[in-house]
Amino acid sequence: MTLTTGQESDQQEADAVPWWRTVLRYDVPASLVVFLVAVPLSLGIALASGAPIVAGLIAAVVGGIVAGSVGGSPLQVSGPAAGLTVVMAETINQFGWAVTCAITVAAGLLQVLFGLSRVARAALAISPAIVHGMLAGIGITIVLGQLHVVLGGDSNSSAVDNILQLPGQLLDLHGPATFLGLLTLSILLVWGKLPAAVRKVPAPLAAIVVVTVLAVVTGSSAERVDLPGNVLDIRFAPQLPDGGWAEFAVAVLTIALIASIESLLSAVAVDKMHTGKRGNFDRELIGQGLGNITSGTLGGLPITGVIVRSSTNVATGARTRASAVLHGVWVLLFTALLATLIESIPLAALAGLLVHVGAKLVNTAHIREVLRHGDLSLYIVTVAGVVLVDLLSGVLIGIGLSVLLMLHRTMWSGVHAEGEGDTRRVVIEGALTFLSVPRLSTVLNGLPERSTVTLELVVDYLDHAAFDCLHSWQEAHERTGGRVVVDEVGHPWFARGKDGSPIVRKDRAGAAVPRWLAPWSEWMARDGAAGEPLPEVRIPDQRHAPLRRGTSEFQARTAPLVRDTMSRLAAGQHPHTLFITCADARIVPNVITTSGPGDMFTVRNVGNLVPPHGRHSGDGAAVWSSVEFAVGVLGVSEVVVCGHSSCGAMRALLDGTPEGLTGLAGWLEHGEAGLARSREAAPVRLDGAEPAHSGDALALHNVLQQLDHLRESRLVRAAVERGELTLTGMYLDVGNAQVYLLDPATSNFEPAGVRGAAQGG
């Protein structure tokens, strides 16, 4: 959920008025809605946990007043959470209620220590797949258990037992209870499809009220909520166990960790829902801890930040923490003054509500997200562990698997061989460590003797064991008459090892220049002598080795990546830009514009010149035929003229063409208009200053002049006037690798990507 402009305006307006007016206008109405949602959920969670019903209400009151006052996420609402029902049911069954209250107090103390030690964000390092799997497992466990209550029976402590006994329960339905439970579920399912005016009443409240009224009117025999005679007479004092301190400590740690993680995840989600003050996660843990200390002392369930109540709080317009605090006050007043109404609620209705809540914990959007990130196995294993074993075991199994997957992904290396006969190519990718040595040895030892082998190393890291494996195999292969050429892409791990230099740590290796950007000499010389061809490149004239090696590099590494794109372009081209630039070898249009195949129709000539319109014969024909084809046939939406610094053509215009280059001299006559412009017109500025070199200043004027020549064409001018074509001036400072764009309003050039220079013509 994101805030609209209207909500942002409301937030700004709220910030401008006194706090008490903000509370009255926004927080009081929001707190009432959250209160109506919290009461039935708190009762249902207490029922599912096997705790006294009043424990859920105590937790709701404490979560609102204590955690709401002290916590670091102002708009988060805390209370008993469905995510803890399974572990609480197990804890209560093992220790009894009084000791469970002591466990809640101890878990709260541990949360306070977590907050004071500032480790809150570390909890977020747990994979979202594990968290979502944990919640889904809890949801499935809740559904399996509460279905028995909906059907009029009793829930078992084991999810497996609930599954095994469900068929028998279906054959032995308890009429009134089953009807009320199914009716509750039906109301919850259809409520979201009713008119908006009706949906202003929260669905849980509507379902419980309707079913309770029906049960009272019909005199249903279904079992109801049972509260103490005086709910304010709290007799649940925490009690320490007589023994089993290790189990006690595990329970404390489990509840503290789960409550902390769920609260932090909820706080992160709440921060994304509003534009107000961001949450302080360490303070939030302290607030949650104090809330659990208080709740356990008073005989309440553990509390966490709850996303259902928190999202309701934000959606109904809350602006400050007063809303969360007031919701706790309303729960307290309701419990104290209207306990009789609570005792009218059928247990089957609360069970139906919990079945709905549990089913929603199995979130299909989360499953799709986990699948997209390749972590579905983590999700499934965690769900299975929570449902079939217990919550803590399921989470620990998920964490263990995540560590194994992390190691696999971090240490993975792909090793495969290509080619036939006496020429083979072995490609090794990823991190090459001792874990990959068995696979590496199998591939290398399967190569034929006396063959010529290219080892293409595209590795992030090479450890000692892997280096030794490669080096030993290379020596053995060459002793039997074979030949090995090592082609390293990136950091030269293997070459450093052979030279006797230490194989440096990965974090000290430094960045490697990609092949497609590096000068030839940066990477071609790694195989020995500069310019030595790869084994599969057999050419008599070694002067052409660089180009042949480049095409070999393209076919081996780039072609597989662009083949799908090229296949789509095979039927025809549809470029969006005509790019006119200099023939200078340092200008690579696709690199400086981050474009690819099919994006630009490129024209290159000495000096990026466009002859005056009308010279459609001789040397001007090539340029204008390209312009007319790009604009009139291909329908490009932009024409770019790109000049650059230290341009040889500009120097020749200023100093004269070298003697004997008659063809060049004739072509540069088309640049005389730009030269005259530079002497007559006002200076053109580059990022607010005039270029220091006269050749660079001329290059800027030259770009402006070529744009004027383009406008002389009726075809170009008409397309510009129709708004179908934009003319753009561009300049590349080669030494600084900085692109500048022409601002047509000032005729100056501004840095691209710095101040968002305007484009157009």
- Whole-angstrom Cα distance, residue 309 to residue 568? 50
Question: Could you tell me whether strands 413-418 and 577-582 are parallel, antiparallel, or unpaired per DSSP bridges?
Answer: unpaired
- Burial environment of residue 198 by CB neighbours within 10 A (0 to 12, 13 to 18, 19 or more): exposed
CA distance 331 to 40: 11
* Distances from the Cα of 514 to the Cα of 429, 491, 493, 520, 623, angstroms: 15, 10, 16, 11, 33
What per-residue confidence (pLDDT) applies to 37?
Answer: 73
Q: How far apart are CA 73 and CA 343, in angstroms?
A: 34
Listed in order, strand segments (DSSP E) in 606-681 are 638-644
User: CA nearest 619: which of 662, 679, 650?
Assistant: 662
Structure tokens at 646: 């230290």
For 613-651, b/e burial (b = at least 16 CB within 10 A) is beeeeeebeebbebbeebbeeeebebbbbbbbbebebbb
Q: How far is CA 223 from CA 181, 227, 248, 346, 353, in A?
A: 11, 13, 34, 6, 16
Find out whether 741 and 759 touch, Cβ atoms under 8 Å: yes
Residues of the chain with pLDDT under 50: 1-14, 526-543, 754-761
Integer Rg of the chain from CA: 37
Q: Which amino acid is at 475?
A: E
Q: Taking a C-beta distance cutoff of 8 angstroms, is the pair 11, 275 a contact? A: yes
DSSP state for residue 607 in the 8-state scheme: T
Angle at 353 between CA 348 and CA 357, to 5 degrees: 145
CA separation for the pair 536, 552 (Å, rounded)? 9
- Are 301 and 276 contacting, i.e. CB atoms less than 8 angstroms apart? no
Quick one: fold of 413-512?
Answer: Transcription Regulator spoIIAA (3.30.750)
Q: Domain boundaries in the chain?
A: 5-174+226-329+360-384, 413-512, 528-572, 574-751
Per-residue tokens: 407: 């190691």
Q: What is the pLDDT of residue 416?
A: 85
Give the β-pairing of 748-751 and 738-743: antiparallel
- Residue 226 burial class via C-beta count within 10 angstroms: exposed 0-12, middle 13-18, buried 19 and up: exposed
How far CA 342 is from CA of 66, 367, 408, in Å, comes to 24, 37, 54
Burial of 41 (0-12, 13-18, 19+ CB in 10 A): buried
**How many angstroms separate the CA atoms of 259 and 255, rounded?**
6
Predicted confidence at residue 63, as pLDDT, reads 94
DSSP helix/strand/coil, 203: helix
Report which residue type is found at 38. A
Q: How far apart are the first and last CA of the chain?
A: 41
Beta-carbon contacts of 673 under 8 Å, excluding residues fewer than 6 positions away, are 612, 705, 709
Dihedrals phi, psi of 114, to nearest 5 degrees = -55, -45
- pLDDT score at 707: 96
Q: What is the CATH code of the structural domain delimited by 574-751?
A: 3.40.1050.10
Q: Are 289 and 110 in contact (CB under 8 A)?
A: yes
Question: What pLDDT, on a 0 to 100 scale, did the predictor assign at position 593?
Answer: 93
Nearest Cα neighbor of 429 from 408, 459, 453, 456 is 459
Pairing state of beta strands 748-751 and 726-733? unpaired
Q: Which residue has the tokens 């510009």?
A: 720
DSSP designation for 543? G
Amino acid, res. 301? L
AA letter at 560: P
Q: Cβ distance 697 to 691 under 8 Å?
A: yes
Per the document, the length of the chain is: 761
What's the half-sphere exposure (Cβ side, CA atoms, 13 Å) at 163?
7
The stretches of 172-280 forming alpha helices (DSSP H) are: 175-190, 196-199, 203-218, 245-271
Pairing relation of β-strands 413-418 and 638-644? unpaired
Q: Which pLDDT score, from 0 to 100, does residue 733 have? A: 95
The secondary structure of 477-512 as a DSSP string is HHHTT-EEEEEE-SS-HHHHHHHT-----GGGS-PP
Show contacts of 246-252: CB within 8 Å, 24+ apart. Answer: 247/94, 247/95, 248/95, 248/99, 248/103, 248/106, 250/392, 251/91, 251/94, 251/95, 251/103, 252/103, 252/106, 252/107, 252/110
Cβ–Cβ < 8 Å for 557, 516: no
Instruction: Quote the CA–CA distance of 139 and 144 in Å, as a whole number.
Output: 9
DSSP string, 700-752: HHHHHHHHHHHHTSHHHHHHHHTTS-EEEEEEEETTTTEEEEEETTTTEEEET
How many CB atoms are located within 10 Å of the residue 488 CB?
Answer: 21
Residue 685 CB neighbours (<10 A): 17
Q: What is the structure's pLDDT at 23?
A: 82
User: CA 1: distance to chain centroid?
Assistant: 16
